[in-house]
Each structure stands twice: as C-alpha cells, then as structure tokens.
C-alpha cells in the first residue's frame, strides 16, 4: 500500500495508487488531476522524486577557471558549484556549517576563498574550514573537521553536465542516465571543441504544476494547433510555399530507462548545425554547408545526417530538458508549490562557432523558445490554463491515451506516459527503498 492511502474528500487525492490509471491492454491512460493540485502529492514528490533521483546542477562551462562559482537552488536547497584547486567541479550546500547563513551571496563570480559574512568563518575553495575568529576560545572537544562546507550526497558530471543527488544510496550518474547518454552524445558530439553556456538566462515562473511543463516539453501533439502563429511567421520568411503545418516524421518517442524519454524526428526547418534553410539567408549557406561537411568527416554520413536533420526533445527525468531544436537549450523545471513552478533555460553553443554562426544560433533560439519568443508564451498560457481548469474538480481526469495501442509513433503521447509511469513508480516507492537506478521493465524495447 501507499504512504498516504487514506481516501480524501472532493477532488483531492483518493490514494497515491489511484493517481495514474494505466490500462495497457486497452491502451487507456489517465492521470488524476489532484496529482497537479494536491499539497500532499507535492510534499510526497519532493521526498520521493526529487530527493531520490539525480538533478541537474549546471554546466561545467559556467565555471571555467579554478575558483569560479555559480549559485543555484535545486529542489529547494541553496547550493553553489565551484571549480576546485584540482580543476574538479565541486558542489556545496550554501549554508554555513556554523550557524546557517548563506555563504555564497552572488549569482556567480570568482573567489580565492569563501567567507561567511555573519561570523567571518572562512573556507577554502575546496570547502575546507580555514579560519575561525577567536578559535582559541572554543572547547578542545570541537570536531573542526565537521565544519567543512558540506556537499550534497552525490555530485557527478556527464560530458559537461553536472548533476547532484540528495540520496546517499543513489547509484552512479552514468547508470541513472541509462539510455539518455546516446542522445546526450548525439548533441555533444556535434561540436568540434566543446560547448559553452551562453551568458544570459531565461528565468520565469509559471502558475502551474511543474509536471504540466514537463509534459508540454515532450508533447508533439500540441505543436501544430497551439503554435500556429509561430509557423505562420517562419513560413512567411521562407520563399516558395512554406510548410505551415509541422510535418514530423521519424521515430516515435523512445523510453530510455528511469523515466528518461526522447522524441527524435526529422525536421523540415533549418538548424544551426548543420542544415541550411532559406530563413538563414544565402550568406550563411557556405558556412553551414562547411560545418556539415566537417560533421560528415568526423561522424560519417549517417550519424551526421541524424545530428543535423533531426530534432531531439530529451527529457532527463525528472525535470531536465535537453532540447536540440532550432538551437540547443537546457531547460530545467523546478516545483515551487502545487500550482507554481520556475523554468530556467540556457542556450548552449559550440566553442568553435564563428560570430556569424553564433548570431544565427541566438536568433534561431529566440524566435521559438524563450519567454519573449513566438511560441513559449503560448505554452505558458496553455499550462496555466490547465491549472486553472483543474479547479473544476468534477472533472477528475486528464487523458493521455493518444497512440496507446500501437508501437510509438511521432505525435503519440508515449513520452508523456513514460514520464508519468516513472513518476508514479517513484511516488509509490517505500521511503526506505532507494529507487532502482535502472528498471529493466521500463527500458526501451
């Protein structure tokens, strides 16, 4: 049985077990809307989803030099990430082990040491306690080693992406990422000299449950109806009969293990790497074609075509989206309350990129994604609208059955179902059980 299995009134939770109805034989799949509104579910998922899995912290390129740092909140914890004296990325809980004040109080910067402003305790960039005013007045029994800066239970990096976990029993990051590494590699390998996060961060709050934004991010069903004005705009820029509907083709959504899912499809639209499109202008054509030639040299025609001509929406469960669409973006969706979440988004760019290519990439990003783009505002409107609609508690269920009886095809809600299955599995897991790093039953077939 589940932890909070008591029936409750009205539109509230009946039991955690009943939140997701997954009838595989009939292909029917639905989610009880209290999963998006209930404070009990919200509290439980913070412990059982976010305290148990690996969570995105940042990208190594944000702290290129020894002593660089960025400050960030992950699952409610104040953290900061630094590059230590040995060149390795470290993450610390941003709270003084002495009395609790925030140690790092700037969004980012460079330090030779960290000093708490309250009582002036000083820590080295590797976290060791270096200075305590009036240290001689403390008892001899003080265990000074306990007062080093504390890292979260796990910190690890895969190809530049830094993750943390608060679960001391968690398996390694590589095992957790499971099948997602293939798709991370497909993005990372596009660059010749590594990737950097561009300066400037999209940060916005949305008045909806965080899971609606995750759903939205891997939901191709909504793209044509919701984003008509975007495709009208892009179509208008193209000469000679633009595609006004999105013609997705290619593989269907794939489950990658541990709740990670990917939607990979061929795109008719241009991509900075390395698919020229009239939207980019004739001037850009030689450069994009040269990038493509080098891609073919390095990876062979087939893999190069997959990199350049396909888009990828990769969800790394529970809340990281590595999207390789009109540009490469990192988006990260954090719950704040049942009906409120925050999205942080960065653009990644290859280090070798020319100024012109960089400008194209940024331009390409802006037209679609981002809070001032031609599409994201309508996504925000849609998920906020759903959250508002959930107040009609007589309507208890949201349906996610599209394509439920066939092998996954583009446009099916397969990816959303995979996310929800893993979420439900986590929610029902006993709090004593570490979540299995790889659940073979949910691996892609």
Partner 1 sequence: MMAVPASRPAVAAERPEVEDFLFREARLLDTWDLDTWITLFTDDARYVVPNTDLPGADPRRDLIIIDDDIVRLRARVARLNNRRAHREFPHSRTRRLVTNVACAAAGRDDEVEALANFAVYRIRGGHTDLYVGRYVYRLRRAGDGRLLISYRRAELDLESLAPHGTVSIIL
DSSP 258-288: TTEEEEEEE-SS-BTTTB--GGG-GGGHHHH
The Cα–Cα gap between 417 and 215 comes to 9
CA 355 to chain centre: 27
DSSP state of 17: G
Q: CB of residue 205 vs partner 1: minimum separation in angstroms?
A: 4
Query: Which of 237, 247 has the CB closer to partner 1?
Result: 237
**Residues 185-224, mask of contacts with partner 1 (x by CB under 8 A):** -------------xxxxxxxxxx-----------------
User: If DSSP codes are grouped into helix, strand and coil, which group holds residue 55?
Assistant: strand
The Cα–Cα gap between 315 and 301 comes to 26
* Residues in region 91-120 near partner 1 by CB under 8 A: 107
Q: Among residues 358, 402, 436, 443, which is the contact residue for partner 1, using CB under 8 A?
A: 358
Q: Is residue 171 a contact partner of residue 437, using CB atoms and an 8 Å limit?
A: yes
Query: Which of 201, 351 has the CB closer to partner 1?
Result: 201
Query: Which of 359, 392 has the CB closer to partner 1?
Result: 359
Q: Among residues 106, 229, 351, 405, which is the contact residue for partner 1, using CB under 8 A?
A: 229
The secondary element (H helix, E strand) that includes residue 234 is helix 228-237
Residue 377 is a binding residue for partner 1 (CB under 8 A): yes
**Pair of tokens at residue 292:** 């493509």
The Cα–Cα gap between 256 and 272 comes to 26
Q: Among residues 363, 396, 409, 439, which is the contact residue for partner 1, using CB under 8 A?
A: 363
Q: Among residues 66, 101, 175, 340, which is the contact residue for partner 1, using CB under 8 A?
A: 340
* Residues in region 385-424 near partner 1 by CB under 8 A: 388
**Pair of tokens at residue 191:** 């660059």
Query: Which of 94, 202 has the CB closer to partner 1?
Result: 202
The secondary element (H helix, E strand) that includes residue 419 is helix 414-428
**Pair of tokens at residue 59:** 């990208």
Stretches 9-17, 128-136, 179-187, 376-384: which one binds partner 1 (CB under 8 A)? 376-384
Given the rule CB under 8 A, which residues bind partner 1?
Answer: 107, 198-207, 226, 228-229, 232-233, 236-237, 340, 342, 346-347, 355, 358-359, 362-363, 365-367, 370-372, 374, 376-378, 380-382, 384, 388
């Amino acid at each position: 049985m589940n932890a909070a299995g008591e029936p409750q009134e009205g539109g509230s939770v009946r039991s955690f077990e009943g939140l997701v109805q997954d009838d595989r034989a009939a292909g029917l799949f639905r989610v009880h809307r209290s999963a998006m509104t209930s404070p009990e579910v919200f509290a439980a998922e913070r412990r059982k989803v976010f305290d148990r899995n690996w969570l995105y912290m940042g990208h190594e390129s944000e702290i290129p030099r020894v002593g660089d740092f960025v400050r960030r909140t992950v699952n409610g914890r104040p953290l900061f990430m630094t590059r230590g004296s040995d060149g390795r990325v470290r993450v610390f809980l941003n709270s003084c082990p002495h009395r609790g004040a925030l140690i790092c109080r700037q969004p980012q910067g460079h330090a030779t040491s960290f000093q708490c402003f309250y009582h002036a305790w000083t820590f080295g960039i590797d976290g060791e306690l270096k200075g305590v005013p009036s240290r001689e007045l403390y008892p001899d029994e003080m265990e000074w080693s306990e007062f080093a800066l504390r890292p979260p239970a796990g910190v690890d990096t895969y190809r530049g992406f830094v993750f943390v976990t608060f679960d001391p029993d968690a398996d390694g990051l590589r095992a957790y990422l499971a099948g997602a590494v293939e798709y991370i590699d497909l993005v990372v390998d596009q660059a010749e000299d590594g990737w950097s996060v561009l300066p400037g961060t999209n940060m916005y709050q949305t008045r909806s449950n965080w899971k609606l934004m995750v759903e939205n991010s891997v939901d191709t069903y909504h793209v044509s109806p919701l984003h008509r004005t975007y495709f009208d705009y892009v179509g208008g820029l193209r000469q000679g009969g633009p595609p006004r509907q999105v013609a997705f083709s290619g593989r269907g959504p794939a489950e990658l293990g541990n709740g990670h899912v990917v939607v990979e499809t061929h795109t008719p639209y241009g991509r900075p790497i390395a698919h020229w499109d009239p939207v980019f202008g004739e001037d850009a054509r030689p450069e994009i074609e040269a990038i493509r030639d080098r891609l073919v040299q390095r990876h062979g025609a087939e893999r190069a075509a997959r990199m350049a001509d396909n888009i990828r929406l990769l969800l790394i469960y529970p809340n990281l989206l590595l999207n390789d669409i009109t540009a490469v973006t990192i988006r990260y969706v954090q719950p704040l309350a049942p009906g409120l979440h925050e999205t942080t988004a960065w653009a990644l760019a290859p280090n070798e990129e020319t100024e012109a290519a960089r400008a194209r990439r940024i331009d390409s990003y802006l037209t679609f994604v981002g809070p001032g783009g031609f599409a994201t505002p309508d996504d925000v409107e849609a998920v906020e609208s759903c959250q508002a609609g959930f107040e009609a508690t007589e309507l208890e269920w949201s349906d996610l059955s599209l394509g439920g009886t066939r092998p996954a095809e583009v446009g099916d809600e397969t990816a959303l179902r995979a996310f929800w299955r893993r979420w439900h599995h986590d929610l029902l897991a006993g709090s004593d059980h570490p979540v299995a790093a790889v659940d073979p039953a949910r691996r892609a077939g």
